[in-house]
Structure 1
Amino acid sequence: MDKLRRVLNGREENEELGLTAQVLDATSLSYSTRVKWFAICFAGGILCSLLGSALLFIPGKGIKLFAVFYTLGNVAALSSTCFLMGPLKQLKRMFEPTRLIATVVMLLCLVLTLCAAFWWEKNILAFVFCILQFLALTWYSISYIPFARDAVMKCFTTCLS
């Protein structure tokens, strides 16, 4: 069926297409499918974060489980927007000059949380990195809202003055 569709569209061989065109052709989703998978991925992220919060109270390995599930939840929620705008556009927007520092800090906090939980075996450090992860993800998220960062900075400046 795909070969018939390619012939009718005037593209007899898939090798004639560039790599980007092949990927876009293979991953084209309808709008409703994109919205459904966004909702599923975002809800899964929230569920992982809530599960991590519930596991925090388990004695011994609670903080480690919290750090892992909280980080997985944030990664799932962040990657859910790939379904709405596409992964390439998402990456381009993440690394725009206006949000480059926020993106790097957020990704660094995600990695450092997992490093603190697994390799360094420092529970309190993993918890601190989870807090920093939350703050970094919040700062990154409000970078998509026009003038939101300025409003938050003015609010904190006014509160601290």
Structure 2
Amino acid sequence: MDKLRRVLNGHEDEERGLTAQGSALLWIPGSAGIKLFAVFSTLGNVAALTSTCFLMGPVKQLKKMFEPTRLIATIVMLLCLICTLCAVFWWKKNGLAFLFCILQFLAMTWYSISYIPFARDAIIKCFSSCLN
């Protein structure tokens, strides 16, 4: 009965579980959350690119990045990296930063798929069959 009274009086927060309290701490109100998301998304993509430099060497990585099969994805990825940071810090447009994050993700996914033989062809066939 005491628990019911606390809920009805608005003192439910004292009884919340650990996961609910943890998720409340992760919530960042306003535009700061979008800015942090954009910055960490960009840093994650940069870390993914640089980690492959350590695996195969920076010169070989750059040669592979700018092969004709990966050229468009590489250019889109790098432009979106720069535009995301500009949208967050210089232009102060959070929606645009979020759009650039999505484009970064798509370009990085298309770039990563290029290392799997025939994966791009399979994805193109899948989407073309879904659209027809």
**TM-score bracket, shorter-length normalisation:** 0.7 to 0.9
Give the deviation of 1:98 after TM superposition.
1.3
Query: Are 1:139 and 2:106 matched, yes or no?
Result: no
Match of 2:59 in 1: 88
Match of 1:94, as an amino acid?
M
Show structure 2 runs of 5+ residues with no match: 1-24
Q: Matched residue of 1:98: which SS?
A: coil
- 2:94 pairs, out of 104, 120, 123, with 123
Deviation at 1:77, TM superposition (A): 1.4
Q: What amino acid is aligned across from residue 105 of structure 1 in structure 2?
A: V
Percent identity of equivalent pairs: 81
TM-score (norm 1): 0.64
Q: Answer yes or no: is 1:154 the counterpart of 2:125.
A: yes
SS in 1 for 2:97: helix
Residue in 2 that maps onto 1:107: 78
Tell me the CA shift for residue 144 of structure 1.
1.1
Structure 1: gaps (5+ residues):
1-53
AA aligned to 1:149 is R
Q: CA deviation at 1:149?
A: 0.7
- Give, in whole Å, the separation in 1 of the partners of 2:65 and 2:103: 18
For 1:120 and 1:151, locate their aligned partners in 2 and report how far apart those are by CA, in whole Å: 39
1:140 CA displacement: 0.7
Q: What is the Cα deviation at residue 119 of structure 1?
A: 0.7
**Aligned CA-pair RMSD:** 1.4
DSSP 3-state at the match of 1:144? coil
How many residue pairs get aligned? The number is 107
**Which secondary structure state, in structure 1, belongs to the residue aligned with residue 129 of structure 2?**
helix
